[in-house]
Structure 1
Amino acid sequence: MSKTAILILAAGESKRLGSPKQLLSYKESNLLLHTIEQFQDIQNAHVFVVLGAYFEDIFPQIRNKSVTVIKNNAWMNGMGSSISKGVELIRKKNLFDRVLVTLCDLPLVEASHYQELIDLSISSRKRIVQTSYEDTSGVPVIFDKSLFNALSYLSNDQGAKALIKKYKKEVLKLSSKTPYFDIDTNDAYQKLLELS
């Protein structure tokens, strides 16, 4: 049975926001719990959450959820270090055929889109399946297990952009039905609340 590791990146310090975006109230919950919730009905998947900054504040909120929490002590090195830390553990478990990487602050991405990405990854056998928006492409993105080794060496703040560029002939894109919307500032958060 084909299995998918879900890797939610939630280790950043939300510098521009000034408080942990992971815990911002959203739909009677918070942004991180909402993201975790999106995967509860996806079959043959397990959720991993990478925490770093604000670990002591965030961990108690998710400790009772069916997720594996990974602590990234080098979170200040950026997204690449969190992907690396997460994929290292996923690779060691030797159970998963792919990893779906997403962020804790993409609340408009629906569970159906995550399911479509996984289905497309399985049916196409492409090594990378990426989400495309009107003017950009990015997360959520799926990487085949043949790229786990390369992902485990990431370290900078660019995430996996260089790796996606290197394997661009192996990339399939899935259009998002919702616009790209992440929460980096209080203005963005207020706009989200208006949209919701």
Structure 2
Amino acid sequence: MNSPKTGIIILAAGESSRLGYPKQIARFQDKTLLQWAIDAANGANVDKRVLVLGAFKDEIKKTFSGASIPNIPNPNWEKGMASTLVKGLEYLQKINPVDQVIIMLCDQPFVDAKILNKLIAAQQKSGKGIVACKYSKTFGVPILFTKKYFAELEALTGDEGGKKIASANEDDLELVAFPKGKTDVDTEADLRDLNL
């Protein structure tokens, strides 16, 4: 049995209103938050990757090597996260469509290739259609969906994300423990806490 083709979408189109400047270029240790995400995606055992940019895309593009990961703009980023997700999914489905997709954000600095590979392994082992990371009594991104959920993902609007679909299909949901997944960056204080 061939292993399913996996794609990764990094959602990085938001304007980080709470931080006051693009969180994609905020620095943690010696790299930008976005670079941590790109390195994780590039290190994972996946077939295709795409980074979707929106607000401040020109400024953000200067901070990483364009050749390091395919990147596309979402001109409708102001419509919310769902439009960015759909844009990424459309890109992954164009040539050599993928069988499953991992959705990740650029503000979880502890996401690495290891956890992304764990999601893929958990899907193969469990056969479930959705595999999410579990942290802080909840679950969320990074999150994997098999293609049976692609139509539902493409129907999301506004700031809806994959969690809505996962919550509605808990019988088809496998969880992977990832306590550090609760760490994300929304404010200057979050960034300071990280860099302590």
> What corresponds to 1:23 in structure 2?
25
CA contact (8 A) 1:47 1:66 kept: no
- Which residue of 11, 14, 26 corresponds with 2:13? 11
Number of aligned positions between the proteins: 194
Q: Deviations over 1:73-131 (max 9, x none)?
A: 11112111111111122123343111000100100223211110111112222110011
> What corresponds to 2:108 in structure 1?
106
**C-alpha deviation, 1:158, in angstroms:** 2.3
**C-alpha deviation, 1:156, in angstroms:** 1.5
Cα gap change, 1:93 to 1:155, in 2 (>3 Å)? farther
> What corresponds to 1:137 in structure 2?
139
Q: For 2:147 and 2:71, how far apart are their aligned partners in 1?
A: 20
Q: For 1:39 and 1:85, how far apart are their aligned partners in 2?
A: 18
The residue identity in structure 1 corresponding to 2:102 is: L
SS across alignment from 2:182: coil
CA contact (8 A) 1:91 1:148 kept: no
Cα gap change, 1:153 to 1:63, in 2 (>3 Å)? farther
- 1:1-196 matches, within 5 Å, as 1=2, 2-194=4-196
TM score, norm. by length of structure 1 = 0.92
CA RMSD of aligned residues (A): 1.6
CA contact (8 A) 1:84 1:155 kept: no
Of 133-142 and 161-170, the range deviating more from structure 2:
161-170
Q: For 2:184 and 2:49, how far apart are their aligned partners in 1?
A: 20
Q: For 2:185 and 2:51, how far apart are their aligned partners in 1?
A: 18
Cα gap change, 1:151 to 1:140, in 2 (>3 Å)? same
CA contact (8 A) 1:31 1:104 kept: yes
- Runs of 4+ more than 6 Å apart: none
- Percent of matched pairs sharing the same residue: 35
